[in-house]
């Protein structure tokens, strides 16, 4: 495991700066909260301080588009003053095409820019982000950023039906510009992505060949690829690219209020329904429903083909709090099945193997049981 890969699950503080954006992406997850407002500096500073109190030394500045906040460089400087050693901005990059703005941000303490690039051509990118000329600005910004000594330049690519066959071309283009870190984000059904679901949705399993092509390319040139929100089963044979399960905690933090209302007040999740089949949180939400009904959850037993994975069962109740419940879920109940499971007689009674076991041993460790039933 490389140093960069090892850093992936490191605890980070995500701080939203604004509910405004200068793009209008077809897949924007935050579209429902984009109202054109910037968060007050005092509120942002308080959020930064909470992150330091939680022990975070890495902060991710997000939005909307964080760079259009009028106090962006001052916020970067405040983060460094509070003790954050790594200050990252998730950005469409358009503001960074202005050299003076980029220099001020770096001088204030910005250490990484993650550029959102969703097309291999101007036509493809601009159509997805809803702004003619956005691609040219973003590409200029990437080129400018690569000239800054010590600045980490990485990328995000939201994979959807309109660009899935071009992901390799996007990665190759970024590599030619000197970018060697790529985070592939699977489309999930929230915000404007859900509004445009029929237009944008696709089957990740059908693009396994594309993913493998990107993986092999990155390995050949010494670059780094992460996957984000992709079903683990799609990465069978490429287990080291499965998203670290601890990153699910970021999803829980982002949805904390509705999840707590669901568990403790009996309120229904506004998103429950057809979209669950494509949501990275589906298994967790099902477990919360079970926890609400039964009052406790216990460790999922291992599949019959992995008796060596049997451990002392643990149990948790709602009183532990939503974050502890999420940690328990990741450690004791987050499971996945592989292709071999479809041939297993015990499959109907088996929830699958813990995802951390699969990441360590590979899907090949799962063997179909020809007779008998899964242990309960």
Residues 232-242: what's their mean pLDDT?
Answer: 96
Say what the pLDDT of residue 72 is. Answer: 98
Say what the pLDDT of residue 310 is. Answer: 67
Q: Which of 85, 84, 105, 108 is nearest to 96 (CA)?
A: 105
The residues near 123 (Cβ < 8 Å, ≥ 6 apart) are none
Say what the pLDDT of residue 302 is. Answer: 87
Output the pTM of the full model.
Answer: 0.91
For the chain, give every residue range classified as CATH 3.20.20.70.
Answer: 3-230
In tens, the pLDDT along 246-303 reads 999 989 988 999 999 999 999 999 899 999 999 999 999 999 999 999 999 999 988 8
Confidence of residue 31 (pLDDT cuts 50, 70, 90): confident
Say what the pLDDT of residue 4 is. Answer: 45
CB-CB contact of 145 with 153 (8 Å): yes
Checking if the pLDDT of 9 tops 70, the result is no
Say what the pLDDT of residue 297 is. Answer: 97
Pick the range with the lowest mean pLDDT from 13-27, 52-66, 308-322: 308-322
* pLDDT greater at residue 92 or residue 312: 92
Residue 76 exposed, middle or buried by CB count within 10 Å (0-12, 13-18, 19+): buried
Checking if the pLDDT of 308 tops 80, the result is no
Of 28-42, 147-161, 304-318, 361-375, where does the model show the most confidence?
147-161
In tens, the pLDDT along 122-178 reads 999 999 999 999 999 999 999 999 999 999 999 999 999 999 999 999 999 999 999
The alpha carbon of residue 375 and the mean position of all alpha carbons in its chain are separated, in whole angstroms, by 33
Helix (H, G, I), strand (E, B), or coil: what is residue 237? coil
In tens, the pLDDT along 178-213 reads 999 999 999 999 999 999 999 999 999 999 999 999
What mean pLDDT, rounded, does the chain reach? 93
Residue corresponding to tokens 């050693």 = 85
Residues 207-234: what's their mean pLDDT?
Answer: 97
Confidence of residue 95 (pLDDT cuts 50, 70, 90): very high
Fold (topology level) of 3-230: TIM Barrel (3.20.20)
């Amino acid at each position: 495991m490389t140093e960069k890969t090892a850093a992936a699950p490191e605890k980070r503080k995500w701080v939203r700066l604004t509910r405004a954006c200068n793009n209008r992406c077809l897949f924007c997850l935050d579209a429902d909260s984009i109202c054109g407002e910037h968060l007050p500096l005092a509120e942002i500073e308080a959020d930064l301080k909470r992150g330091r109190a939680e022990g975070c030394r890495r902060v991710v500045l997000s939005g909307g588009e964080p760079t259009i906040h009028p106090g962006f460089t001052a916020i970067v400087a405040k983060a460094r003053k509070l003790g954050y050693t790594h200050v990252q901005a998730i950005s469409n990059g358009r503001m960074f095409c202005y050299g003076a703005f980029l220099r001020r941000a770096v001088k204030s303490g910005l250490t990484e820019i993650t550029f959102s690039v969703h097309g291999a051509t101007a036509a493809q990118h601009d159509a997805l982000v809803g702004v003619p000329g956005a691609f040219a600005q973003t590409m200029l910004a990437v080129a400018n950023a690569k000239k800054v000594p010590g600045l980490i330049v990485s990328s995000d690519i939201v994979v959807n039906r309109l660009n899935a066959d071009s992901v390799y071309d996007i990665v190759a283009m970024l590599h030619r510009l000197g970018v060697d870190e790529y985070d592939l984000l699977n489309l999930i059904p929230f915000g404007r992505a859900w509004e445009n679901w029929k237009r944008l949705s696709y089957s990740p399993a059908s693009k396994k060949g594309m993913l493998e092509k990107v993986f092999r390319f990155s390995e050949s040139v010494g670059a780094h690829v992460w996957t984000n929100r992709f079903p683990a089963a799609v990465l069978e044979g490429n287990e080291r690219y499965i998203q670290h399960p601890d990153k699910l905690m970021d999803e829980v933090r982002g949805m904390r209020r509705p999840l707590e209302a669901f568990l403790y007040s009996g309120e229904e999740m506004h998103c429950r329904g057809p979209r669950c089949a494509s949501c990275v949180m589906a298994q967790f939400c099902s477990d919360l429903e079970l926890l609400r009904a039964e009052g406790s959850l216990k460790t999922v037993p291992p599949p019959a083909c992995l008796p060596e994975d049997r451990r002392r069962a643990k149990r948790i109740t709602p009183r532990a709090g939503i974050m502890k419940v999420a940690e328990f879920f990741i450690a004791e109940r987050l499971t996945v099945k592989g292709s071999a499971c479809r041939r297993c007689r015990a499959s109907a009674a088996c929830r699958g193997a813990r995802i951390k076991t699969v990441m360590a041993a590979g899907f090949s460790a799962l063997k179909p049981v020809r007779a008998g039933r899964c242990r309960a």
